[in-house]
Structure 1
Amino acid sequence: MKTAKPVPQEVVQQVADYFSVLGEPMRLRILNLLRDGEKCVQDLVEVTDTSQANVSKHLKVMLQAGILTRRSKGTLAYYSVEDDLIFDLCNLVCDRLASRIEEQAKSFRAFSLTSKR
């Protein structure tokens, strides 16, 4: 049997940091809005119904993590997804959660059909 080599701490930390970026609901909302393409900050502020400071804070975190890219045009800043693989990762998680919920629903249905009143 082959034993796994220890992973260097800095690698583990970088992976954990990347996942922590996705652990914030507002960032997931913003990513979903950027799924269709580039958007300016003001568009994201309007759709998320939150402050520009809040949206900008989350965009900065995702930009620093390499998830987003930014371009300026005049006074406006436009953001887009740098790596579409982020959507594959989100889809995997959503599919797994949906499967679990479906299994739970089957258990509830089975219980409700077998119990007598």
Structure 2
Amino acid sequence: MSKTVTISEDEVTKWSLNMPDEMLEPVSNRFKLLAEPMRLKIIRVLCQGEHTVQEIVNNVNASQANISKHLALMHDNGVVNRRKEGLKCYYRITDETIIFAYYLISKSVVENLQEKLSWVQKVNTNLTA
């Protein structure tokens, strides 16, 4: 995936201010769906492209029943698509915005942790000086 996405602050503000209240529950439900560590592991694997259930199981080190349960929920909510080929079932992310959201939130968390670490190191340096 080599796609550049540019979003202006004005666009974000306009979208946020104009989103009807009726949309807040579906948006909240999408966040809830993605707010589960095993599903994030599955998304991390699927960010690399289409995979079979067994490949996902092997990558995240979980049982097939557990992965299948999460994939079914993700499919029912439009996060992943599936296709059958013989006995195998292949999954892929439905909408690239899921990948962008995963990246942006992960990056934000890492940057926040780096700031906290920097602050702790600074305090530690001052205490030991």
Q: Structures share a fold, TM > 0.5?
A: yes
Choose which of 18, 21, 36 in structure 1 pairs with 2:48. 36
Mapped to 2, the partners of 1:49 and 1:5 lie a distance apart of 42
SS of equivalent to 1:115? helix
AA in 1 matched with 2:112: R
Aligned position for 1:103: 115
How far is the alpha carbon of 1:89 from its aligned partner? 0.6
How far is the alpha carbon of 1:6 from its aligned partner? 8.2
Which structure has greater helix proportion?
A: 2
Aligned position for 2:77: 65
* CA spacing shift, 1:109–1:80, aligned 2, 3 Å: same
Residue 8, structure 1, aligned to residue 21, structure 2:
yes
How far is the alpha carbon of 1:8 from its aligned partner? 3.1
* CA spacing shift, 1:56–1:99, aligned 2, 3 Å: same
Report how many residues are paired.
113
Aligned position for 2:9: none
- Stretches of structure 2 lacking an aligned partner (at least 5 in a row): 1-16
How far is the alpha carbon of 1:109 from its aligned partner? 1.5
Deviations 1:58-87 (CA, angstroms, capped at 9, x unpaired)? 101111121111000111111011111111
AA in 1 matched with 2:123: F
Aligned position for 1:114: 126
* Larger gyration radius, structure 1 or structure 2: 1
Identity %: 30
Residue 92, structure 1, aligned to residue 104, structure 2:
yes
Aligned position for 2:63: 51
- Stretches of structure 1 lacking an aligned partner (at least 5 in a row): none
AA in 2 matched with 1:8: D
AA in 2 matched with 1:94: S
AA in 1 matched with 2:109: L
Which has the higher relative contact order, 1 or 2, with Cα contacts under 8 A spaced 6 or more apart?
1
TM-score by length of 2: 0.79
